[in-house]
Structure 1
Amino acid sequence: MLKIAVFSQKGGAGKSTLAVHVAVAAARSMQVILIDADPQGTVVSWAQDRQAVDPFVARVEPSSITQLLEGATSEGFELAVIDCPPHAAPGTTALLRAADHVVIPCQPTMPDLSATARSVALARSAGRGYSFVVNRAPARAPEVMQAIEALGGGGRVAPIVIGDRRAYSRALTDGRAVTEFAPSGSKAADEINGYWDWLYEHVKEQAWQTQQAA
């Protein structure tokens, strides 16, 4: 089972929202478990209003993440998306170690860019690969390209930028994701689908490189 943690040291980066939309996009083609390890419980609150059964949503304390993932693997799940706590909360390192890859969302602002250094340090200390994605990006803002260039100095940056679109938050209000809420071919749905396709291929490539180096 592939395991992806979504983590950011900076609050307001859209971490939980991104985790939900990515998990639903992935659930089109595989069995997905979406794990809420954030004390704020955003994912669990979203799931309470959701009618669809996929992805399966589970709440977990960091100390129990290994057992949950082992159980999910035995039940046939192919992907786990872990919504981590913001900041370096107790147990965060255990969550990152349990993942195969860490996604670090970042808004194109100086405070967010500065905070990524701490996120990277935690991912590295957990011994896990990571990638950045520019999230909640304003349309046609020069700061977006500046953020991509700045992040590129510290790691791989997703070529898909996630825009600051109302559709992302509106979809969540009744337990849906943007790929279900927005019409097919909408910019928001295309962004999420494109990002997930890229992330999946990137993580598989990273895993292959790790195996070759072992």
Structure 2
Amino acid sequence: MNIIAVANQKGGVGKTTVTMQLAAIMSRRLRVLVVDVDPQQSTVWWAENARARLPFDFAGNQHPNVLARMRDLGVDYDVVIVDTPGSLEDTPRLETALDASDFVIVPMTPEPLAVEPTMRTITRLIEPRHLRHAVLLNRIDGRLGSQLDTWREVLDQTFGVPRFEGYLRQYKTHADAPVLGQLVTSVGDNRRTQGSIADVTRLGYEMTEQLSSATNGAW
């Protein structure tokens, strides 16, 4: 079982979207559980709206201590994806979740105000625990041709942090998904949705490869 935390102390970077959509796409091949340890409980609201359309198991409103007990209890999942708090006030809660995790996805939006909290999350909380991690660029505006390359260069050259090759573009389908209870696995594949489905599918494959390489002892 691999526990994946989705974490960033910057709020509004899309942690819940990444958690829910990645869980949905990975559930096509793996046994997936989503755990919400964020007091805001955004995934709980989403899951309640989705109801029977959830393709994975869901455990909302949990204390992060439950994560450490999962291995001892022999929980029968391939992947557990954890939505974590996004504020400084909840740092102890986030630290408890990270202590139990095997990998951390760090969503980051392409805006200057996201840089400092993202790097703080990595340098103060993730790297000292020697956790495998990667930044995921989220809400990339496809109309701005140079945006993706610019922010990839910032991550690669300025900060030298691991990142996913995949990224999530900004789509209305992602913005509407929580209130409609929709996931990439429950919407039709058409011109309106195919971009968002492709982005999440690419992320799912890359995340699966990261976990496989961890098993083989490689980065």
For 2:56, give the aligned amino acid.
Answer: P
**Aligned match of 2:59:** 58
1:204 pairs with one of 209, 212, 217: 212
Q: What pairs with 1:106-145 in structure 2 (closer than 5 Å)?
A: 106-121=108-123, 122-141=125-144, 142-145=146-149
What is the CA-CA distance between 1:147 and the residue it aligns to? 1.2
**Aligned match of 1:80:** 80
For residues 169-190 of structure 1, the C-alpha deviation after alignment (integer angstroms, 9 at most, x for no partner) is 2232232212322416801000
Report how many residues are paired.
209
* Distance in 1 separating the partners of 2:170 and 2:153: 19
Q: What pairs with 1:42-57 in structure 2 (closer than 5 Å)?
A: 42-50=42-50, 51-57=52-58
Q: Secondary structure of the residue that 1:157 maps to in structure 2? A: coil
| 1:97–1:127 Cα contact (<8 Å) kept | no
| 2:33–2:81 Cα contact (<8 Å) kept | yes
Indicate how the Cα distance of structure 1 residues 75 and 116 shifts in structure 2: closer, same or farther if over 3 A, else same.
Answer: closer
* Distance in 1 separating the partners of 2:72 and 2:140: 36
* Distance in 1 separating the partners of 2:113 and 2:188: 31
Give unmatched runs, 5+ long, in structure 2. none
Is 1:148–2:148 an aligned residue pair? Answer: no
Give unmatched runs, 5+ long, in structure 1. none
Indicate how the Cα distance of structure 1 residues 160 and 119 shifts in structure 2: closer, same or farther if over 3 A, else same.
Answer: same
* Distance in 2 separating the partners of 1:208 and 1:143: 34
Q: Secondary structure of the residue that 2:11 maps to in structure 1? A: coil
* Distance in 1 separating the partners of 2:13 and 2:137: 9
For residues 31-90 of structure 1, the C-alpha deviation after alignment (integer angstroms, 9 at most, x for no partner) is 11001011110111111122135311112112332124544xx24211100001113412
| 2:167–2:199 Cα contact (<8 Å) kept | yes
1:168 pairs with one of 157, 169, 174: 174
| Percent sequence identity over aligned pairs | 22
For 1:195, give the aligned amino acid.
Answer: L
| 2:7–2:15 Cα contact (<8 Å) kept | yes
What is the CA-CA distance between 1:22 and the residue it aligns to? 0.2
* Residues 173-182 or 57-66, more deviating: 173-182
* Distance in 2 separating the partners of 1:157 and 1:192: 15
* Distance in 2 separating the partners of 1:53 and 1:105: 22
Indicate how the Cα distance of structure 1 residues 75 and 115 shifts in structure 2: closer, same or farther if over 3 A, else same.
Answer: closer
CA RMSD of aligned residues (A): 1.9
For 1:151, give the aligned amino acid.
Answer: L
* Distance in 2 separating the partners of 1:27 and 1:75: 16
